[in-house]
A and B are shown apart, each in its own frame.
Chain A
Amino acid sequence: MNSRLLSLAPMVVLFLLTTASLYFMAGAAQNQDRFEERYLYLIYFNGVLLTLLLIIVTWRVFLLVRDLLRRKTGSRLTWRLVVSFITVALIPVLMVFWFSTRFLGGGIDNWFEMDLGQSLEDAMELTRLSIDFQMREQQLQVEDVALAINELGDAASDVLLSFNLENYRRAVGAEELTLLGRNSRIIATSSEYGDLDIATFPTEDVVLNLAQENNYRGLEPQGDGSMKTRILVRLPAYGRLSEPRVLVGMFPVSNRITTLGNQVQESHAQLNTLVYSRAQLMQIFILTLSLVLLMSTLFAVWAAFAVSRQMLSPVAELADATRAVAAGDYQQRIPVLQHDELGFLVQSFNEMTSRVEQAQNSAELSQRVIEDQRSYLQAVLSHLSSGVLTIDAAQNLRTANDAANNILESKSPLQKMVGRPFVSLRSNSLVLESFIDQIEERLQERDWQVEIPLFGESGRKVLLCRAIEIPELEDQGSGTIIVFDDITNMLTAQRDAAWGEVARRLAHEIKNPLTPIQLSAERMTHKLGGELQPTQAKILEQSTAVIVQQVEAMKQMVNEFREYASPQQPVLELQDFNLLVKSVADLYQDYDSGTIQFSPGKNVPMIFVDPGRIRQVLHNLIKNAFEALSETSDGAVRVTTRYVENDQGRYVELAVLDNGTGIDDDMQEKLFDPYVTSKHKGTGLGLAIVKKIAEEHSGIVVARNRPTRGAEILVRLPYRKAFHREDGVNNT
């Protein structure tokens, strides 16, 4: 069954119960017997129903008021409907009530104004007169008997009196004849039934009545429905000593008169009771009517609630669903239960939400595709070994990938700084600062490519940086995409490969002929030494010695060059840097060209270096310094170490200072290139090898003139935690 219809079941049941109860009440009011029996119960029952209705309606009204205060959907419309229903229902009911009460009041009054009452009064009076007439005769008879008893004299015995009373009783047709003395003392009595009835004794008010008059006659209804007449006659005083005597006679009233009298009495009592209770009767009728009015009104209110709920529930559902749709829930569907205009509205709403949902789904799908693409792009970018940055037209960072973070050694991820001006990211790392400094001016250009040398925490590195302008998009504007790669290793490898090739060729082209030259020179000395003049032999020996010496020198040069050119992987060990430096510096304590002084820095940590290669660096640098002091009388070489930890990174710095002639300006640029030297002796590879070894250790070499005199060469070797954590592990 429909749940809405089912919800109306209690109301229908209560309505049927009330209607039946009121019907019986109306029926009971019309029928006196049923009226008597059921009316009170019906009133109680209706009272219960009324209370139930009141509770229900009060609860409904309470809920409605609460909904109104909460501004719940449909509550105002329900309120209007309920008020309309009550108005529509109450006006006719009140009119019926008013007319009914007027009709009842006037009608009942008219009914009781009939002559029935007077007729009954007349009948009563007639019966009373009839009985009174009978009683008068009986009184005369009793008076006669009283005279006769009086004539018997005061001295008559009780037996005689009783005997005579029996005769008199029979003669007058009385049921009882009793002679009473003072204080109702029985002097003599005669009864038709033998025993004296207690009712024979007159009541006090009768005795009182007798005291005022000499006789009394009265009708006395009996408990069994019969009637008797009582006649009292005072006997004349007889002599001085005689006590006052009263003759009491009880006479039956004929059955016919008793029946008629009882009927008249009963009808009179009933009518009088009815007339008397007409005001109360009116109250009952008005009470019944009021109950009907009250219940009708309450039912109207309840029905108004039920109907309004029935009517407005689709509207409320629509409103709730609309709110849900507005909040983004497009799956709202309302069941179409009615096939009227509201049903059509609900159906249209369902179709609309269905279409909106489809559109929303499509949009979500597109969004998901875009998101997927974005994710894919992010994944590609994050897995790229090249650093990628995009900068919008306002020079703000838009995207950055993980490789960019790594290459630029950013302290905090660049992804978190999206939206900030690109140039403001300088403070993030030394590399980034240098990187921004070198490309800042180029950002205004459209497409460019440049190699950028940098020195960061992990040492020197070279980036190949390319920038391409992004075409202007609809909502994001134009921008620049910067892609950069750390080509340090590639450059090193290329150079190593080039030099390796040169070395191979030199070894092949130069070294190979040297041995035959040397052997030929030595053979020439050996073969010709004995045959020549001593002077000539000396010349030959000197010449061949020069040849051999130069050949050795060339061999050494080729070997050094090959050593320089051949790629070597440093074997890193944890070393006390100061100790390492000292061990080499000590070897030059007795050098002729000048003095050497080593100033070890404080807090120089143990670092990972290839000790053999670093010794090579030290030898080269110290030798180089001493060679620069050849023209100086007070030549002094100073070697220092220090540990530097600042915003630009952490490194160990080795400085070799001299007070020689310094570096020429034209040499400054190519000082570390191979075969560049200002000295007469030397291969020109010393500083090149220093640079190479420094770079193998991810370090840099800087050469500059001192402010006062001489030059200083600084070797900065990065202090890398990774090596120190992994104790002794080669982790280049």
Chain B
Amino acid sequence: MKYWFAMLLLISPLYAETEASQASAYIRMGDINSTNVDGVYQLSTRLDISLSEEMQDALRNGVRQVYLLEVQVRVPRFQLYYTEAASEKHRYELRFHTLSRKYLVNYLRTKTQRSFYTLSAALEYMGNIESLTVLKGRQLSDFDNFQIRAKFMLDIDELPLPLQIHSLMNRGWRISSKWKVIEL
């Protein structure tokens, strides 16, 4: 729907892509290590996160950014076709605290928050996922065969509305890692 609407807006003369400023934004996910102790999975991975100048500028201007780690359990149906059996989202809030002049990273599930003087330290912290418990309480044993994969991305819906509209027209804001299949 969003892409469709973005396509529609292409006809608008008001639309102007600022692609150049978005060139450096990306999220790359390293290999995922997982442990399974009594049906409880714990993931560990390293994320290489780079924000564009515009995104950094927005952050320093009080725009909070929420990042999602989405974990999906998929069951194979046909040759190459999978259906989603379960999914889980872990949210990380990144924002700039003007009073303390620090970048805050808050793991919203546990409200665990750390503060950093530099953005790179904050991103380094956020990208260092250590022994994250996922799919807790899911009955994965019901499935004979399944696959778990994960993706890390900026949640556009959590941006203020003007930026949401802006991000619809600006691909630089829609940063996401590729799906990474977890080796079980």
Binding site for B on A (CB under 8 A): 35-36, 39-40, 43-44, 47, 50-51, 124, 127-128, 131, 198-199, 203-206, 209, 218-224, 227, 261, 264-265, 268-273, 275-278, 280-281, 283-284, 286-287, 290
B residues in contact with A131, CB < 8 Å? 99
Binding site for A on B (CB under 8 A): 1, 4-5, 8-9, 12, 14, 57-58, 61-64, 95, 97-100, 102, 104, 106, 110-118, 121, 125, 160-166
> Is the CB–CB distance between B61 and A205 below 8 Å?
no
> Is the CB–CB distance between A43 and B165 below 8 Å?
yes
> Is the CB–CB distance between A265 and B98 below 8 Å?
yes
> Is the CB–CB distance between A287 and B165 below 8 Å?
yes
Given A272-B61, A276-B61, A276-B62; A265-B99 close (CB under 8 Å):
yes
Chain B interface mostly: mixed
Chain A nearest CB: distance from B120 CB in Å?
Answer: 9
> Is the CB–CB distance between A276 and B97 below 8 Å?
no
A residues in contact with B104, CB < 8 Å? 221
Given A36-B161, A265-B98; A283-B111 close (CB under 8 Å):
no
> Is the CB–CB distance between A223 and B112 below 8 Å?
yes
Specify which of B95, B98, B117, B125 lies most central, judged by the most chain A CB atoms within 10 Å of its CB.
B98
> Is the CB–CB distance between B100 and A273 below 8 Å?
no
Whole-angstrom CA separation of A128 from B97 in the bound complex: 12
> Is the CB–CB distance between B14 and A290 below 8 Å?
yes
A residues in contact with B125, CB < 8 Å? 203
Closest to B121 in A: A205
Whole-angstrom CA separation of A458 from B61 in the bound complex: 128
Given A205-B116, A280-B166, A287-B165; A50-B99 close (CB under 8 Å):
no
Whole-angstrom CA separation of A204 from B61 in the bound complex: 25
Q: Which of A35, A39, A287 contacts B14 (CB 8 A)?
A: A287
Given A265-B97, A276-B62; A40-B161 close (CB under 8 Å):
yes
A-B pairs, top 6 by smallest CB distance, nearest first, are: A269-B62, A223-B113, A280-B162, A276-B61, A223-B111, A272-B62
Given A268-B62, A272-B62, A286-B14; A280-B98 close (CB under 8 Å):
no
Chain B nearest CB: distance from A573 CB in Å?
Answer: 104
Chain A nearest CB: distance from B153 CB in Å?
Answer: 18
Could you write out 17 A-B pairs with CB less than 8 Å apart? A35-B161, A36-B161, A44-B1, A127-B99, A219-B102, A220-B102, A224-B111, A269-B62, A272-B61, A273-B160, A275-B61, A276-B57, A276-B58, A277-B63, A277-B163, A277-B166, A283-B162
Known interface pairs A203-B116, A221-B102, A287-B9; 13 further A-B residue pairs with C-beta atoms within 8 A, sorted by A's residue number: A39-B161, A39-B165, A220-B102, A221-B99, A222-B113, A223-B106, A223-B112, A276-B62, A277-B58, A277-B163, A280-B162, A283-B14, A287-B14
> Is the CB–CB distance between A277 and B162 below 8 Å?
yes
> Is the CB–CB distance between B121 and A204 below 8 Å?
yes
Closest to A291 in B: B12
Whole-angstrom CA separation of A273 from B112 in the bound complex: 24
A residues in contact with B100, CB < 8 Å? 218-221, 227
Chain A interface mostly: helix
A residues in contact with B57, CB < 8 Å? 276
Chain A nearest CB: distance from B132 CB in Å?
Answer: 15
Q: Which of A40, A270, A272 contacts B164 (CB 8 A)?
A: A40
> Is the CB–CB distance between A221 and B14 below 8 Å?
no
Closest to B16 in A: A283
Whole-angstrom CA separation of A264 from B62 in the bound complex: 12
Given A277-B163, A280-B165; A268-B98 close (CB under 8 Å):
yes
> Is the CB–CB distance between A128 and B166 below 8 Å?
no
A residues in contact with B99, CB < 8 Å? 124, 127-128, 131, 219, 221, 261, 264-265, 268
Chain A nearest CB: distance from B24 CB in Å?
Answer: 19
Specify which of A198, A209, A277 lies most central, judged by the most chain B CB atoms within 10 Å of its CB.
A277
A residues in contact with B113, CB < 8 Å? 221-223
Whole-angstrom CA separation of A277 from B170 in the bound complex: 14
> Is the CB–CB distance between B62 and A287 below 8 Å?
no
Given A218-B100, A265-B98; A205-B12 close (CB under 8 Å):
no
Specify which of B63, B95, B100 lies most central, judged by the most chain A CB atoms within 10 Å of its CB.
B100
Whole-angstrom CA separation of A206 from B121 in the bound complex: 10
Whole-angstrom CA separation of A273 from B63 in the bound complex: 6
> Is the CB–CB distance between B165 and A283 below 8 Å?
yes
Closest to A51 in B: B8
Chain A nearest CB: distance from B8 CB in Å?
Answer: 5
Whole-angstrom CA separation of A227 from B99 in the bound complex: 11
Whole-angstrom CA separation of A275 from B121 in the bound complex: 27
Chain A nearest CB: distance from B101 CB in Å?
Answer: 8
B residues in contact with A270, CB < 8 Å? 62
A residues in contact with B98, CB < 8 Å? 124, 265, 268-269, 272
Whole-angstrom CA separation of A310 from B69 in the bound complex: 60
B residues in contact with A275, CB < 8 Å? 61
Closest to A287 in B: B14
> Is the CB–CB distance between A273 and B8 below 8 Å?
no
Whole-angstrom CA separation of A277 from B110 in the bound complex: 30
Chain B nearest CB: distance from A296 CB in Å?
Answer: 15
